[in-house]
């Protein structure tokens, strides 16, 4: 065979030498595709002494080399390695063409195919040009829309590419980090379920237009966060292309204008009535006209903000809306309690506000703020248990507040706080290690608080420990202890391991034993408090006074820690901002309505709650709305991080006034006790010295 080829070769050379042929004109390549670079001779050549060398003309880079009967890819220039192939079975026929794969823009330019034999050599030069990718176009580069409208984002593929060759089309929101998948078309099928949650049910292709290469996106019910860049990417087997459409602006809808109007009204009323109400408070005017101004100041701005937050539901998320709207609509209740003109209201209303304002405010915020996750985990055993505990705690709090059982009210509200923690962490209860840990850590402060409060009131203050107090205390302790034991049994059954949670069982039994010891101590010392020295009672009272706030802070810190550790939600900061507020309100319930209040501080705290809180809420909501319209994305992220901390400052200031009042009462009672003791001491000294002369 080699001999025959050699004879043919000699004959061909004798007729006119070696002639290498190439393409008749420039070679057109598609970006990302493959292109054939022709190079051949009319007659076969023997492999002995045959060398075929391909080089890039401008850079002299080695594209491909065939020598000694085989190709040498290891000698190729770096930019061509793995992208160039000869056709081995065609070389013996005189075909030295190569296939250049994964074409890039740098591949454009001249190529030289040089063929060398033992007797002669020849070459051909060709040009690779017009490297272009898949052409994807849009009709309108910038689009404007109004909130709630439907818009079309255009994306069309080069008509020379059949729709059957298009493997994938994706629409993405590319100005977000990370990018958001808006809609996916793959293997001739649309996948609406693959869309990001914010676009599900709001996007679609025009199915009848897809065979024509039209992959325009229909975006329905435009929202403010839709503002920005949308990218259409089209992929075939060998090519890809993309185009970007900009949704430049989303105008205000009537709903947004209403929110801005309500925020403006709230701001104007709060600022406008600030001066007149301050004058009335300083002069202590309690006229009917003055009362109307007070009521209008605390009602109008907060009702406006309540409506604004409700309308904000089109842009905000559920937890934020419910919490902020609840705070706004419940704020007038707490303002009534903190106002100096409460005594001018009807007697029945006074008693109701004094008793129920704080626990009602606390319960409303806790339930609406934390129970948003009930819908997600409905039916979960832990969620059901926590729901029952929460309902019982709310009802019990109202009853205890009416009958002025401040100790048990405080403990009950802390139990409610823990139940709300259980709601939020329901999705983590599959990790039983955390279950045992959370329960074993969070229950000791509650029981310690219960014991310290009971000892403070009935042991050191000498208040009667009657049957009602005994029953209430015992019910709370027993339910808590038995509940802990039942939880231990439930978790142990679920994991088939009774040894892991032994600490819970031990704690439940210890609480019962400790409480029985406290009851024995109180019943034994009943009626003997007069025998205690006042200094000893004072030290015990102050110790309990320090212990109880410390335990309240400890419970709050524990809840804060586990929320931050286990809760993986975008609105985590909002939940964390709620923790200090509900614990300040819990501590506030320890005290009855104060009597000794410094006028100036009282007025400043009340005006802060009536004016500053609603003003800041109005400014924050309006600013967030305007910035979102301008940027297409939220700036603050969660309005609770502004509303709730300010609410905490207000409630903390009121708590300080209550502590001041309690201290003044303590000093007054202590002074009276010493005054009563002084005549007894004088009388005893006279008996010891009947005849001083």
Averaged over 290-306, what is the pLDDT?
92
How many helices (H) and strands (E) in the chain? 16, 20
Burial class of residue 370 in the structure, from the number of CB atoms within 10 Å of its CB (0-12 exposed, 13-18 middle, 19+ buried): buried
Residue length of the chain: 693
pLDDT at 132 over 70: no
Q: Give the pLDDT confidence score for residue 688 in this predicted structure.
A: 45
The closest alpha carbon to 294, from 263, 329, 340, belongs to 340
Q: Give the pLDDT confidence score for residue 433 in this predicted structure.
A: 57
Contact between 581 and 647 under an 8 Å Cβ cutoff? The reply is yes
Q: Give the pLDDT confidence score for residue 107 in this predicted structure.
A: 87
The per-residue pLDDT of the chain, averaged, comes to 83
Contact between 222 and 116 under an 8 Å Cβ cutoff? The reply is no
- Rg, C-alpha atoms of the chain: 41
Averaged over 321-337, what is the pLDDT?
94
Q: Give the pLDDT confidence score for residue 652 in this predicted structure.
A: 96
Q: Tens digits of per-residue pLDDT, 225-240?
A: 888 889 898 888 767 7
Q: Give the pLDDT confidence score for residue 45 in this predicted structure.
A: 86
Q: Tens digits of per-residue pLDDT, 510-537?
A: 988 999 988 888 877 765 544 556 777 7
Contact between 485 and 504 under an 8 Å Cβ cutoff? The reply is yes
Per-residue confidence band for 159, with pLDDT thresholds at 50, 70 and 90:
low
Tokens of 665: 């009462």
Q: Tens digits of per-residue pLDDT, 428-477?
A: 555 555 666 777 888 899 999 999 999 888 888 778 888 888 898 898 88
Q: Give the pLDDT confidence score for residue 4 in this predicted structure.
A: 44
- Edge-first strand listing for the sheet containing 217-219: 151-153, 217-219, 203-205
CA distances 539 to 157, 517, 552, 659, Å, are 85, 21, 21, 18
Averaged over 664-679, what is the pLDDT?
60
Q: Give the pLDDT confidence score for residue 3 in this predicted structure.
A: 40
Per-residue confidence band for 658, with pLDDT thresholds at 50, 70 and 90:
very high
Q: Give the pLDDT confidence score for residue 673 in this predicted structure.
A: 54
Per-residue confidence band for 10, with pLDDT thresholds at 50, 70 and 90:
very low
In 517-636 the beta strands, taken as DSSP E runs, fall at none
Q: Tens digits of per-residue pLDDT, 569-581?
A: 777 888 899 999 9
User: In terms of pLDDT, which residue wins out, 588 or 105?
Assistant: 588
What percent of the chain shows pLDDT beyond 70?
A: 85
pLDDT at 16 over 80: no
Q: Tens digits of per-residue pLDDT, 412-430?
A: 999 999 888 877 776 555 5
- Measured CA to CA, the distance from residue 80 to residue 75 in angstroms comes to 10
Q: Tens digits of per-residue pLDDT, 182-193?
A: 999 998 899 999
pLDDT at 144 over 60: yes
Lowest-confidence range among 89-103, 192-206, 482-496, 511-525?
Answer: 482-496
Helix extents (H) in 567-637: 572-588, 599-607, 613-631
- Measured CA to CA, the distance from residue 169 to residue 184 in angstroms comes to 6
CB neighbourhood size of 178 (10 A): 8
pLDDT at 92 over 50: yes
Report helix angle 406-424 to 347-370, nearest 10.
Answer: 20
User: In terms of pLDDT, which residue wins out, 584 or 344?
Assistant: 584
- Strand, helix or coil at 223? coil
Per-residue confidence band for 118, with pLDDT thresholds at 50, 70 and 90:
confident
pLDDT at 653 over 70: yes
pLDDT at 561 over 70: yes
Q: Give the pLDDT confidence score for residue 526 in this predicted structure.
A: 64
pLDDT at 15 over 50: no
pLDDT at 679 over 80: no
């Amino acid at each position: 065979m080699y001999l025959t080829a050699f004879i043919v070769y000699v004959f061909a050379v004798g007729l006119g030498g070696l002639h290498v042929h190439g393409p008749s004109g420039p070679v057109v390549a598609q970006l990302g595709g493959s292109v054939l670079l022709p190079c051949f001779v009319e007659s076969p050549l023997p492999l002995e002494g045959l060398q075929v060398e391909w080089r890039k003309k401008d850079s002299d880079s080695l594209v491909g080399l065939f020598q000694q009967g085989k190709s040498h890819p290891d000698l190729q220039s770096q930019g061509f390695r793995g992208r160039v192939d000869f056709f081995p079975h065609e070389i013996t026929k005189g075909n030295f063409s190569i296939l250049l794969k994964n074409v890039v823009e740098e591949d454009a330019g001249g190529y030289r195919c040089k063929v060398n034999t033992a007797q002669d050599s020849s070459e051909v030069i060709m040009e690779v040009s017009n490297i272009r990718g898949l052409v994807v176009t849009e009709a309108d580069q910038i689009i404007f829309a109004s909130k709630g409208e439907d818009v079309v984002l255009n994306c069309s593929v080069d008509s020379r590419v059949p729709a059957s060759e298009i493997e994938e089309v994706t629409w993405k929101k590319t100005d977000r980090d990370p990018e958001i998948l808006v809609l996916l078309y793959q293997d001739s099928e649309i996948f609406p379920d693959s869309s990001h949650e914010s676009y599900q049910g709001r996007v679609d292709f025009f199915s009848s237009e897809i065979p024509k290469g039209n992959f325009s996106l229909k975006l329905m019910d435009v929202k403010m966060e839709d503002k920005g860049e949308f990218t259409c990417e089209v992929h075939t087997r060998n090519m890809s292309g993309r185009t970007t459409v900009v949704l430049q602006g989303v105008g205000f809808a009537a709903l947004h204008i209403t929110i801005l109007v309500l925020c403006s009204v709230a701001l104007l009323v709060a600022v406008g009535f600030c001066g007149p109400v301050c004058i009335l408070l300083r002069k202590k005017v309690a006229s009917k006209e003055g009362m109307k101004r007070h009521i209008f100041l605390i009602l109008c701005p907060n009702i406006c903000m309540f409506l604004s937050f409700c309308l904000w539901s089109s842009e905000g998320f559920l937890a934020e809306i419910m919490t902020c709207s609840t705070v706004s609509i419940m704020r007038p209740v707490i303002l009534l309690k903190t106002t100096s003109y409460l005594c001018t209201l009807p007697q029945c209303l006074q008693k109701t506000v004094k008793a129920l304002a704080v626990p009602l405010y606390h319960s409303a915020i806790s339930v609406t703020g934390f129970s948003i996750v009930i819908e997600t985990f409905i039916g979960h055993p832990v969620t059901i248990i926590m729901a029952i505990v929460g309902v019982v705690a709310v009802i019990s709090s109202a009853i205890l507040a009416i009958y002025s059982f401040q100790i048990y009210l405080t403990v009950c509200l802390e139990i409610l706080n823990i139940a709300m923690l259980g709601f939020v962490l329901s999705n983590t209860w599959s990790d039983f290690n955390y279950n045992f840990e959370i329960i074993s850590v969070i229950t000791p402060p509650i029981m310690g608080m219960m014991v310290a409060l009971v000892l403070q009131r009935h042991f050191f203050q000498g208040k009667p420990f009657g049957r009602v107090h005994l029953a209430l205390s015992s019910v709370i302790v027993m339910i808590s202890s038995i509940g802990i034991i039942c939880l231990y049994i439930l978790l142990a059954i679920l994991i088939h391991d009774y040894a892991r949670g032994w600490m819970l069982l031990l704690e439940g039994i210890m609480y019962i034993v400790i409480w029985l010891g406290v009851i024995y101590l109180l019943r034994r010392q009943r009626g003997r408090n007069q025998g205690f020295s006042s200094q000893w009672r004072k030290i015990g009272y102050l110790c309990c006074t320090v212990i109880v706030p410390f335990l309240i802070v400890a419970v709050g810190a524990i809840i804060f820690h586990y929320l931050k550790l286990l809760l993986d939600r975008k609105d985590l900061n909002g939940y964390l901002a709620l923790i200090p507020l509900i614990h300040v309100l819990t501590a506030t319930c320890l005290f009855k309505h104060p009597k000794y209040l410094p006028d100036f501080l009282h007025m400043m705290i009340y005006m802060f709650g009536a004016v500053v809180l609603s003003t800041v809420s109005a400014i924050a909501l309006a600013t967030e709305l305007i910035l979102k319209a301008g940027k297409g994305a939220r700036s603050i992220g969660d309005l609770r991080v502004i509303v709730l901390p300010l609410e905490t400052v207000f409630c903390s200031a009121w708590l300080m006034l209550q502590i001041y009042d309690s201290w003044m009462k303590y000093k007054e009672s202590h002074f009276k006790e010493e005054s009563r003791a002084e005549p007894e001491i004088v009388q005893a000294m006279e008996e010891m010295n009947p005849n001083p002369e």
